[in-house]
């Protein structure tokens, strides 16, 4: 079975991790700050906070934007559940904005309409979490313009999109957002096994995320409620977590980051091959606006809803590890409890009835790619 995604681990990745294993510190050492600095440099952002998963980074982002009970956070229904769950961890409500049927990203027009209504009802969101689906940057300028008008925060869920570019600048520079979040899960663009990072230009948010990743504990006397009892002293000044990234993960991340641009380029090559080889087939692919450069985390085709299931099954039977990203979040039982129903987000639901993710990873060889194309063409005609 050709998987839909697969990490690539080189000898130098292995050496980097082994080097940490032989050192004194396997957690809370120098390599996590090194990884943070490297990602900040890559993205052109001031501050980065490494954590143990993308989900943790989303949670911390919500916490430091003071999202809590009574607040609402909006995101896309076509995403991994973590993009929505992060708000619920903070006691906030979640609502969704339908996707653009062409880009599969949160639609700025639907967002504008929903904001107009929400303003009249006095229920504006505290934050919106646009997701750069499949690695394709959202229309960030349009979303930011609405944020300025209606006064909500923006957290970019860039779990798919490290290495992507928007208007000739790297995703993660936070020009259009308060915080950007990356995931380094093995299926993503680069990996640290598990891991994530929150990126921001605001020092106050970064400092608070650093504290929350380690139990909400501070050793800075100026933040304490009293003069320290002694040199051993620390204070917990708010409720935090253990969301720390290990040195082993960071070493893998630093090593992988060096190949980020190569990986994205290889992903574009595979996508380009599919584009050409599948043109003329009865299917559609994601529309890439001119001011975007995708990280190509995923290559999704949309086929007729009527044949969707049989094509999917045919591909799986043919050894092609196709997948479906994603089941609309509002259709999950744990979201239906809040009253979301089928029909709420027609573009997302129609996408779900047609979408198939084809295998896409940097080390795919010609045989893999041709095998996928051959099977897709065959599936279309049977």
Ligand X SMILES: *Cc1c(COP(=O)(O)O)cnc(C)c1O
- Residues within the interface to ligand X (CB under 6 A): 53-55, 79-80, 82-83, 131, 157, 159-160, 183, 185, 196
Q: Please say which residue, 185 or 208, places its beta carbon nearer to ligand X.
A: 185
Q: Helix and strand tally (H, E) in the chain?
A: 13, 15
Element (H, E) at 200: strand 196-200
Cα-atom radius of gyration of the chain, to the nearest Å?
21
Please report which residue ranges of 258-381 form alpha helices under DSSP H: 260-278, 305-317, 333-336, 346-352, 366-381
The answer to whether residues 358 and 377 touch, using CB atoms and an 8 Å cutoff, is no
Pick the closest to residue 94 from 79, 102, 104, 84 (CA basis): 84
Whole-number minimum distance, CB 155 to ligand X, in Å?
Answer: 11
Contacts of 33 (CB under 8 A, 6+ apart): none
Cα 139 to the center of its chain, rounded Å: 15
Whole-number minimum distance, CB 229 to ligand X, in Å?
Answer: 38
Whole-number minimum distance, CB 356 to ligand X, in Å?
Answer: 17
Q: Please say which residue, 43 or 379, places its beta carbon nearer to ligand X.
A: 43
**In angstroms, rounded to a whole number, what is the distance separating the alpha carbons of residues 205 and 183?**
19
Q: Please say which residue, 79 or 286, places its beta carbon nearer to ligand X.
A: 79
Q: Please say which residue, 157 or 178, places its beta carbon nearer to ligand X.
A: 157
Pick the closest to residue 245 from 213, 211, 216, 222 (CA basis): 213
Q: Could you give the C-alpha distances from 212 to 165, 205, 216, in angstroms and in order?
A: 30, 10, 4
**In angstroms, rounded to a whole number, what is the distance separating the alpha carbons of residues 270 and 247?**
33
Q: Is the peptide bond before 326 cis (omega within 30 degrees of 0)?
A: yes
**In angstroms, rounded to a whole number, what is the distance separating the alpha carbons of residues 253 and 59?**
21
Q: Please say which residue, 125 or 135, places its beta carbon nearer to ligand X.
A: 135
Phi, psi for residue 341 in degrees, rounded to 5: -135, 160
Q: Please say which residue, 174 or 376, places its beta carbon nearer to ligand X.
A: 174
Q: Please say which residue, 218 or 357, places its beta carbon nearer to ligand X.
A: 357
Q: Please say which residue, 356 or 375, places its beta carbon nearer to ligand X.
A: 356
Q: Please say which residue, 146 or 190, places its beta carbon nearer to ligand X.
A: 190
Whole-number minimum distance, CB 303 to ligand X, in Å?
Answer: 22
For residues 82-120, b (16+ Cβ closer than 10 Å) or e, as one string?
bbbbbbbbbebbbbbbbbbbebbbbbbebbbebbeebee
- Neighbour-count burial of 354, counting CB atoms closer than 10 A to its CB (0-12 exposed, 13-18 middle, 19+ buried): buried
Closest residue to ligand X, judged by C-beta, is: 54
Q: Please say which residue, 72 or 159, places its beta carbon nearer to ligand X.
A: 159
- Neighbour-count burial of 195, counting CB atoms closer than 10 A to its CB (0-12 exposed, 13-18 middle, 19+ buried): buried
């Amino acid at each position: 079975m050709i998987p839909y995604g697969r990490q690539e681990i080189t000898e130098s990745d292995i050496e980097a991790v082994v080097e940490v294993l032989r050192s004194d510190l396997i957690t809370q050492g120098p390599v996590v700050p090194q990884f943070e600095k490297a990602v900040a440099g890559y993205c052109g952002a001031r501050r980065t906070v490494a954590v143990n998963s993308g989900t943790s980074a989303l949670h911390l982002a919500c916490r430091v934007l003071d999202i809590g009970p009574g607040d609402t956070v909006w995101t896309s229904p076509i995403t991994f559940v973590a993009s929505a769950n992060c708000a619920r961890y903070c006691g906030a409500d979640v609502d969704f904005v339908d996707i653009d049927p062409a880009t599969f990203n949160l639609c700025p027009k639907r967002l504008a309409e929903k904001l107009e209504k929400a303003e009249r009802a006095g229920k504006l969101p505290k934050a919106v979490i646009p997701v750069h689906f499949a690695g394709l940057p959202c229309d960030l300028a349009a979303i930011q313009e609405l944020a300025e008008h209606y006064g909500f925060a923006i957290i970019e869920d860039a779990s798919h999109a490290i290495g992507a570019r928007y208007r000739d600048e790297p995703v993660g520079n936070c020009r259009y957002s308060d915080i950007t979040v990356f995931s380094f899960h093995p299926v993503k663009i680069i990996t640290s096994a598990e891991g994530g990072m929150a990126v921001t230009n605001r020092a106050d948010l970064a400092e608070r995320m650093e504290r929350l990743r380690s139990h909400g504990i501070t050793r800075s006397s100026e933040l304490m409620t009293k003069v320290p009892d002694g040199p051993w002293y620390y204070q917990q000044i708010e409720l935090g977590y253990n969301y720390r990234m290990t040195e082993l993960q960071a070493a893998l991340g630093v090593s992988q980051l060096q190949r980020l641009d190569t990986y994205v380029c290889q992903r574009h090559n595979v996508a380009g091959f599919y584009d050409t080889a599948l043109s003329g087939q009865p299917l559609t692919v994601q529309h890439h606006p001119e001011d975007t450069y995708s990280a190509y985390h995923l290559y999704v085709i949309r086929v007729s809803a009527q044949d969707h299931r049989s094509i999917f099954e045919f591909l799986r039977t043919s050894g092609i590890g196709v997948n479906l990203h994603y089941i609309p979040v509002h259709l999950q039982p744990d979201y239906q409890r809040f009253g979301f129903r089928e029909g709420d987000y027609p573009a997302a639901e129609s996408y779900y009835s047609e979408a198939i993710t084809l295998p896409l990873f940097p080390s795919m060889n010609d045989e893999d790619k041709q095998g996928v194309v051959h099977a897709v063409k065959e599936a279309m005609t049977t």
